[in-house]
Amino acid sequence: MTDSDKVLNILQKIADAIHENEQFLTDLDAAIGDNDHGINMDKGFQKVATDIPSLSGKDIGSILKRVGMDLVSTVGGSAGPLYGTAFMKAGAVVADKNEIDQEDFVSIMEAGIGGVQLRGKAVKGEKTMLDAMIPAFEAMKASCTAGDDTPSMLKKGVEAAENGVEYTKTIIATKGRASYLGERSIGHQDPGATSFTVILRAISESY
């Protein structure tokens, strides 16, 4: 089981990981986007980090909802609404819970994907964050069903997300600024899929 204090600790690790990868994510975005994904994501998660002390003692649903609100209000571009909605939808499925288990992790992932699809009007295969999120969810769900422990489940999710990032290099972008490049977007990995993988890896490394 993962309690509220552990979730806050994980959020700090996510903020640190995004900060460490700020330039990398921005460089990826410079090739096919607005050259600001890393900057925007870092801004959002630094806001989350400053709010962590005030979230001590809150239930996990409330914590995730607050993260979502922070991201919507501080992250520029499309990433703010997408990630913000994902976290708020995730918070809704664990509302009032002070502990979450593996099945809750899977539900959180599924809800987050639903939020991104709702906001972004996107599906898998369009060179977006969903190309990492959906494979990670499917791998984690299968792992949970197989009875794996949480560290194993998360590692399998990270591996699937990493493979999803590699997949984005092979396809044409059809959403966002990258879609303007057409076939020239091939060969470049999607920044959103990459930032999601950074986040999931930080979660995995916390176990």
Least confident of 11-20, 31-40, 97-106, 190-199: 31-40
Residue 24, number of CB atoms within 10 A of its CB: 15
Whether the predicted pLDDT of 175 surpasses 60: no
Residue 7, number of CB atoms within 10 A of its CB: 23
- The encoded tokens of residue 9 equal 């600790």
Q: % helix / strand / coil in the chain, to the nearest 5?
A: 75, 0, 25
Q: What burial letters (b/e) apply to 45-56, b meaning 16+ CB within 10 Å?
A: bbbbbebbeebe
Whether the predicted pLDDT of 15 surpasses 50: yes
Task: Report how far residue 107's alpha carbon sits from residue 137's, in angstroms, rounded to the nearest whole number.
Answer: 9
pLDDT of residue 168: 94
Average predicted confidence (pLDDT) for the chain: 92
Q: What burial letters (b/e) apply to 106-127, b meaning 16+ CB within 10 Å?
A: bbbbbbbbebbbebbebebebb
pLDDT in tens, 42-61: 999 999 999 999 999 999 99
Q: Which of 97, 93, 98 is nearest to 114 (CA)?
A: 93
pLDDT of residue 180: 43
Residue 140, number of CB atoms within 10 A of its CB: 28
Task: Report how far residue 9's alpha carbon sits from residue 110's, in angstroms, rounded to the nearest whole number.
Answer: 22
pLDDT in tens, 116-150: 999 888 888 888 999 999 999 999 999 999 999 99
> Cβ distance 54 to 76 under 8 Å?
no
pLDDT band at 171 (very low <50, low <70, confident <90, very high): confident
Backbone angles phi, psi at 124, to 5 degrees: -60, 140
Task: Report how far residue 55's alpha carbon sits from residue 133's, in angstroms, rounded to the nearest whole number.
Answer: 26
Terminal CA-CA length for the chain: 11
pTM above 0.85, yes or no: yes
Q: Which of 144, 178, 174 is nearest to 29 (CA)?
A: 178
pLDDT band at 174 (very low <50, low <70, confident <90, very high): low
List domains and CATH numbers for the chain.
2-204 (1.25.40.340)
User: What average pLDDT score do residues 55-76 get?
Assistant: 96
